[in-house]
């Protein structure tokens, strides 16, 4: 579901980024023979100003902003809507949210169709100790890249598991900064 970038500039930007996110305006469509090609996949004509469709737009936002709703959705789908550590299941909450809420915001199949409304509600309505959070498996301060292709090296954890893992991560040695 998450499309990897085929734009060499996007790949270079992801690999060289030292911040936790970067602006999407740093990549753009390429014009080949007078045709604007998608800024993410470079294989299709753009339908809008930048991307060929929703899948490329979602993939770009999820990759460049790993703490936001788009990447959270991709991670939850990959993890079957469970915390990667304690296996807390978000599906009962999602089903309850889909019963309530506005009709036009509800996806027909939340496992196949991204819904910003649903992701925001999951973050708002989850019990405080089980709020979903994005976590780098290897911490950034220990040498992990902040951004990664296909969201490799990041998982979705509930707040309790994330706090426990962060405490554990802080107990070890840090990466030495070299000029």
Closest CA to 26 of 46, 41, 37, 11: 11
pLDDT of residue 178: 52
pLDDT of residue 177: 55
pLDDT of residue 58: 94
* Side-chain-facing half-sphere of 140: CA atoms under 13 Å: 13
Q: How far is CA 23 from CA 14, 68, 91, 164, in A?
A: 11, 13, 32, 31
Question: Is there a contact between 153 and 75 (Cβ–Cβ < 8 Å)?
Answer: no
Domain ranges of the chain: 1-65, 66-179
Element (H, E) at 120: helix 116-125
Question: Residue 111: CB partners within 8 Å, gap ≥ 6?
Answer: 77, 81
pLDDT of residue 93: 94
Per-residue pLDDT of the chain (179 residues; tens, 9 = 90+): 789 899 888 899 888 888 888 888 888 888 888 889 999 998 888 877 899 999 999 999 999 998 899 999 999 999 999 999 999 999 999 999 888 766 666 777 889 989 998 999 999 999 999 999 999 998 888 888 888 888 988 999 999 999 999 998 887 666 565 55
Question: Residue 54: CB partners within 8 Å, gap ≥ 6?
Answer: 114
Distance CA 102, CA 151 (A): 31
pLDDT of residue 130: 97
Q: How far is CA 56 from CA 19, 42, 68, 84, in A?
A: 22, 10, 16, 26
pLDDT of residue 173: 66
The token duo for 63 is 């990759």
Distance CA 52, CA 49 (A): 9
Is the pTM higher than 0.85? The answer reads yes
pLDDT of residue 162: 96
């Amino acid at each position: 579901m998450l499309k990897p970038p085929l734009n060499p500039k996007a790949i270079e930007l992801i690999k060289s980024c030292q911040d936790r996110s970067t602006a999407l305006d740093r990549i753009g469509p390429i014009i080949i023979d007078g045709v604007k090609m998608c800024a993410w996949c470079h294989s299709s004509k753009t339908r809008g100003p930048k991307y060929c469709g929703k899948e490329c737009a979602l993939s770009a936002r999820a990759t460049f902003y790993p703490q936001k709703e788009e990447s959270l959705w991709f991670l939850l789908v990959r993890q079957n809507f469970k915390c990667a550590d304690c296996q807390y299941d978000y599906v009962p909450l999602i089903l309850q949210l889909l019963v309530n809420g506005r009709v036009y915001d509800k996806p027909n199949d939340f496992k196949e169709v991204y819904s910003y409304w649903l992701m925001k509600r999951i973050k708002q309505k989850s019990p405080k100790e089980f709020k979903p959070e994005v976590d780098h498996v290897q911490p950034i301060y220990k040498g992990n890249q902040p951004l990664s292709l296909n969201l490799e090296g990041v998982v979705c954890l509930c707040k309790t598991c994330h706090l426990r893992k962060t405490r554990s991560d802080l107990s070890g040695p840090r990466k030495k900064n070299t000029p």
